[in-house]
A and B are shown apart, each in its own frame.
Chain A
């Protein structure tokens, strides 16, 4: 299957500050792909480059076969963008904004738009600026659906949405994608929602990729082990075995992709008492935080 998105040694600096360091990534057609990571890890930079609003310092970022910073108008028509904060032409009404966009796309599907927007029970001449964030997100999603793009890049779709609209958004997206061969790349802070929809994800850490896998896999293979704090635990450091260490008063949480037997062997070599070692069950969000760290 062809790669819809392909990053090769993607590097970006702001002045001298290195933000992306040789990022490599490819997204295959038909996949729903998530980019996760704490703030300040280059998530926004990556999205800006992918969307074509930032020219990378070096490396390659191909979207639908074209350099993202030089993407042709024709190819742009095949990409639907959802910008952070559900940006829309606020000064237009429901009807005006549809009329405006429809002329730009040969494959415009008006019915997709109204299917979503009609559920808001607003008049056609209702201005977008007078809508709640949730209502606006429906309009924006409707416009993207009507465009019927091959690739959708959705930046922080959950921002400002209450749980109702959030799940509505996810439901519609899932439904839309399932009926066609769409590729989606999305970011969000709401890990539970992502779990419902994402096939693969990357988790970005400081100047490196922490993980590139499916969320299911991640949840299954990532563990948290707890031992009491002692002088020997003070010497523990993150390495190939230990992804992260967290001290909570008298206890130490050790995050790792290793199985319990592997970790026991490892801790023994470090003279850590294994008597009270126990595995703590992790939700996806806990696992995410465990991997990326709280700070």
Chain B
């Protein structure tokens, strides 16, 4: 049964996943070219100085990538299910609603994680060519809230789409916007160093969020 669920989710999102892999890959190349260009133009020293003192985030182009990828995967997974009440087909499958929803989101979440891992791996790999460990470390700390933003948006968007009532949807949209804003407030590096675990502690529970809209759909609560 799980195999079938994975199969269906994969059919819905495979193109988006492939396209996002490509876009991430091209953007990584762009970031590397930009670093090289900068170094040739202004010397490596001033490039480092810009990064360290002026707090230039040379990877900032990726800032909203996790958010967009998370949102798109969620939309592609759940909008086809909710349009024309197609979710009724899924909820009638001989599998519990909870298992179904958690399996569906696991598929999207896994592919999102793979995507994020490529971004992180690519950036770390490129950074190690040009920068010392301190800068690479600050990169990791600085993009962590963005990555969490992508994960958060994935589950929040899924919750919004799965929710049958439009009033709840609008409330959840506002909450999503407000919460996501909190993860993208930085003006330099390492600013979430001491608080990110608290945000993580909230986001850890997000995967469970999709169950309540499922319950509401099943019981016909509007």
A and B touch in the complex (CB under 8 A): yes
Please report A residues at the B interface, Cβ cutoff 8 Å.
48, 51-55, 69, 73-74, 76-77, 79, 81, 83, 85, 87-92, 96, 99-105
Which residues does chain A contribute within 8 Å of B4, judged by CB atoms?
99-104
Which residues does chain A contribute within 8 Å of B86, judged by CB atoms?
87-90
Q: Is the CB of B219 within 8 A of A69?
A: yes
Which residues does chain B contribute within 8 Å of A104, judged by CB atoms?
1, 4, 93-95
| Least Cβ–Cβ distance between A159 and chain B, in angstroms | 12
With an 8 A cutoff between CB atoms, is B96 at the interface? yes
Known: A48-B220, A53-B217, A76-B93. A100 touches B88 (CB 8 A): no
Which residues does chain A contribute within 8 Å of B3, judged by CB atoms?
103
A77 to B95, CA, bound (A): 9
Specify which of A54, A77, A100 is in contact with B8 (CB 8 Å cutoff).
A100
- A76: nearest chain-B partner, CB-CB: B94
- Number of residues from B at the complex interface, CB < 8 A: 24
| Least Cβ–Cβ distance between B52 and chain A, in angstroms | 49
Q: Is the CB of B89 within 8 A of A88?
A: yes
Tell me if B's interface is mostly helix, strand, loop or mixed.
helix
Q: Is the CB of B12 within 8 A of A51?
A: no
- B8: nearest chain-A partner, CB-CB: A100
With an 8 A cutoff between CB atoms, is B7 at the interface? yes
Specify which of B94, B218, B219 is in contact with A73 (CB 8 Å cutoff).
B94
| Least Cβ–Cβ distance between B197 and chain A, in angstroms | 38
Specify which of B8, B80, B220 is in contact with A55 (CB 8 Å cutoff).
B220
A85 to B219, CA, bound (A): 21
With an 8 A cutoff between CB atoms, is B11 at the interface? yes
Most buried by A among B3, B12, B89: B89
Contact with A along B115-136 (1 / 0, CB 8 A): 0000000000000000000000
| Least Cβ–Cβ distance between B105 and chain A, in angstroms | 18
Q: Is the CB of A85 within 8 A of B84?
A: yes
| Least Cβ–Cβ distance between B10 and chain A, in angstroms | 10
- A-B contact sample (14 more), CB < 8 A, given A73-B94, A90-B80, A104-B95: A73-B95, A74-B94, A76-B94, A77-B94, A83-B88, A87-B84, A92-B8, A92-B11, A96-B7, A99-B7, A100-B8, A104-B1, A104-B93, A105-B94
